[in-house]
Amino acid sequence: MTRGTFAAALALAVLLLAPARASTGRVPSYSFRDLGTLGGSVTAAADVNAYGQVAGVSMTTDGFLHAFLWSKGKMTDLGTLGGQSSYATALNDSGTVVGYSQLVGKPGSHAFVWRKGTGMRDLGTLGGSQSFANDVNDGGVVVGRAFDPSDTPRGFVWRPTTGMKKLEGDPFSVATAVGARADGPIGGSAGVELDPGTWAGTGAPFRPLPLLAPYESGEVHAVDVRGDVVGAMTALGGSAPGTRAFFYDSHRMRALGALGSLTQSEAYSISNSLRIVGIAYTDVFESTVGWVARSPTAPLRPLGDLGGRPGWALSGAASINDLGQIVGTGFHNGRTRGFLLTPDRKERAASLRAFASGGRLFHARVSRTLARALVTISRHKSRACASLRKLAKAAERERTLTQPARRIFAADVRAFAAGLSCGR
């Protein structure tokens, strides 16, 4: 093994073996990507999955807004349900996209699910005129808001096997986010005053969150794999302090910090690594600033300080994945455009280490194996390489991680083995 090869292997091992807390104070660097358009002048990003695929809405050359899926630099027009416009709101790690679309010759919109090869499917309604899909998990469970026969808005859950079902509780409700399990939990709001809360499952009652005084209403915007939720809570009547982003982990409600003089904020997304993104503002009708917090107790950092570009104002962060990639919408030379921020390798590794309880346990196994491999390199290279090959195969089968995370761990182990010149 050459000195350079060993140095590269050692550097990778240090990156993977370092404890997660060691990087909480560093400021990562980000690469920046303009998502482009469907031929028009406007693009807005809504969600990003574990593979860095992005869903959102963009203007076509005809001047209509269409849902899109962006992947590896290419933006695909997802079409509509026959009407002029469609809007994508979320996607899962399989590239399944949900949102809502206008229909042919009818007012209003219907929720849709789009899959590669089968296209856009109308999810119908609860008997009323409209429906809107807001989120989808890796099991294909879709949640949103639909109108019943009296045209009252109700939160819904849709599955391929059962179709659309209303959620229990106050008929004035909306489901905005769904957790990783087959039955939730589901985040949303209920009541005329919009009480933020969760449903433990399809047939479970709505449970309002314990808001901090003087906040009286709010919305849940995202749920992580543990059931933690983020959103925004508001003091009614326009009284101070207005609206503030929150994090709730079933034990306590925490108001997230302010961003300098921008005293109002909303949290829109949380990764399984507890990275949180959102917007901050003094008046939402004036200007907003996108931000990221690397934990529920960390300060909010404006996106422009991390990955801004000349001519860009990064006005909003919509979603963050488990690698720490962030999508949002900003203004480029006065035009609305979507962007993707990708953090440096150290931040991606730190994000994976902070992943979830199952991920932490498997990372501990990775760390132990890599440490043993480094000790035995000089004496037993063949044994070390065999151990790494076995670990890479184990990573592909590890069920405490999602499939994208399994592939990421396996790729990192193989990269380490390549650094040792293990071959295949």
Helix, strand, coil share (%) of the chain residues, nearest 5 = 20, 45, 35
Q: What is the pLDDT of residue 191?
A: 93
**pLDDT at 275 exceeding the cut of 70:** yes
What is the percentage of the chain residues whose pLDDT exceeds 70?
A: 89
Q: What is the pLDDT of residue 8?
A: 47
417: nearest Cα among 391, 379, 380: 391
Rounded Cα gap, residues 267 and 230, in angstroms: 6
**92 torsion bin: left (phi>0), alpha (psi -120 to 50), beta (else):** beta
CA distances from 103 to 86, 112, 131, 145 (A): 9, 11, 12, 17
Average confidence (pLDDT) over 371-384: 75
Could you check whether the bond before residue 153 is cis, i.e. omega within 30 degrees of 0? no
- The reported pTM is 0.81
Q: What is the pLDDT of residue 20?
A: 41
pLDDT, the chain, mean: 88
**pLDDT at 113 exceeding the cut of 60:** yes
Residue 114 bridge partners (DSSP):
97, 120
The end-to-end CA distance of the chain, in Å, is 16
**pLDDT at 306 exceeding the cut of 70:** yes
Rounded Cα gap, residues 378 and 220, in angstroms: 54
Q: What is the pLDDT of residue 416?
A: 82
